[in-house]
Amino acid sequence: MKKGQTMEGIVTRVEFPNNGMVAVEGEDRCIVVKNAVPGQKVCVAVNKVRKGKAEGRILSITEPSPIEIPSPCPHFGECGGCTYQNLSYEQQLQIKTEQVKSLMDEAVNGSYIWEGIQPSPVRNAYRNKMEFSFGDEYKGGPIALGMHKRGSFHDIVSVPDCQIVDEDYRKILTCTLECAKESGLPYYHRMRHTGFFRHLLVRKAVKTGEILIDLITTTEYDNFNAAGWMEALLSLNLSGTIVGILRTKNDSVADVVKDEGTEIIYGQSYFYEELLGLKFKITPFSFFQTNSLGAEILYDKAREYIGDTKDKVIFDLYSGTGTIAQILAPVAKKVTGVEIVEEAVEAAKENAALNGLDNCTFWAGDVLKVIDELGEVPDLIVLDPPRDGVHPKALEKITNFGVEKIVYIACKPTSLARDLGMLQGRGYRVERIGGIDLFPGTYHVETIVLIQKKTS
């Protein structure tokens, strides 16, 4: 096997995250590819060959897998947003279950209770947040607004029929794209670092139906007709209610949604969502689980794992808008949340007041730095870190508290597996692991773990 070769083989399995293993007859190693389904016969171009490992990209699918079905989304395959929409939901869950269980079996020392992966309450139109990008569908083409093309950093696929959001998102996207075209202003070019339109952020609450819309642009032009865009949006026939239309300025060269100043064009800069009987104020860039109905299942499971909280002090680290903290607070002595996004911390404080909870405090800052300043020792700790997991030094400080119980919620099981190694090395054992599928149609999955202090 050599770099540059074209080879044909069968996808024998898919490992997290999105790594298909292609077995080629007569070869002693698999070729790792993206966006594959077990059972497909594929033609692959070999990109890299290393000791015991090869990487490639799929040139064509010569025979579909027996488990494949027609995708409900017309953009599937071209759009890079989803990977499993060509599988039945039962097959999606089976693949995710095999992937997570395999990772956890390897990471955990000894036996543990595996609870499987619970399905999402909704399979389509489940997202309460979408970030769309401006660009062109091909070099020199007209302005587009949608998702990155599969396998491309530059090209954008317009997605007016996206299936993981509801019709309101699709109408808002189409309306905004038309206004952008009419303006004559260019999209932001990621290589030249020039242009105006960058991203469109749309958030919609499932329970309240409130919608927040944020257009992210540079400051290179000052002649955008924001009033005309607002009027076009407000004239749409939507099932939800627009409560805020914003414009956020971002001149950073990085291709991320970054807030360098936000103006309110209409209404307010937040919306409300409800979970498990509590109300939450959510701002444009604060973390909140993107599947509201699935989040209720996740947080119910967190309460089950945590167990009795009466007269207990709880640390909710990486607390976002304080969702978990407030779900635990009614029967706890005190809950302290730590979150690095300042606007999320302010929203968490307002949420606690809104829900009549006076035993919640929230700190703004990096967990690694702030944890030394909290001035108390918790009885229980909840971890819900970003995708990269917990910084090793922060994890060391967390284990130094010696709490009896830690509940770890992870959106990336490979990061969780790494952190479990350190937790077990510092005197903890894994008791129970379960998953909740918050992301149907994709390879992502949420994992929750109950970790207990070893007894002598």
- Side-chain-facing half-sphere of 60: CA atoms under 13 Å: 5
Q: Which residues are catalytic?
A: 411
Sheet of 113-118, strands arranged across? 113-118, 428-436, 446-453, 405-410, 380-383, 313-317, 334-339, 360-364
What does the block give as tokens for 166? 């509801």
Using alpha carbons, list the distances in angstroms from residue 312 to 17, 358, 378, 454: 37, 15, 8, 20
What does the block give as tokens for 227? 């009033």
Distance, CA of 7 to CA of 2 (rounded, Å): 10
Using alpha carbons, list the distances in angstroms from residue 373 to 336, 361, 366: 12, 13, 11
Task: Give the three-state DSSP class for 244.
Answer: strand
What does the block give as tokens for 330? 């009614």
With 0-12 / 13-18 / 19 or more C-beta atoms within 10 angstroms meaning exposed / middle / buried, residue 269 is middle
Sheet of 143-148, strands arranged across? 156-158, 143-148, 129-136, 197-204, 210-217, 241-249, 262-267
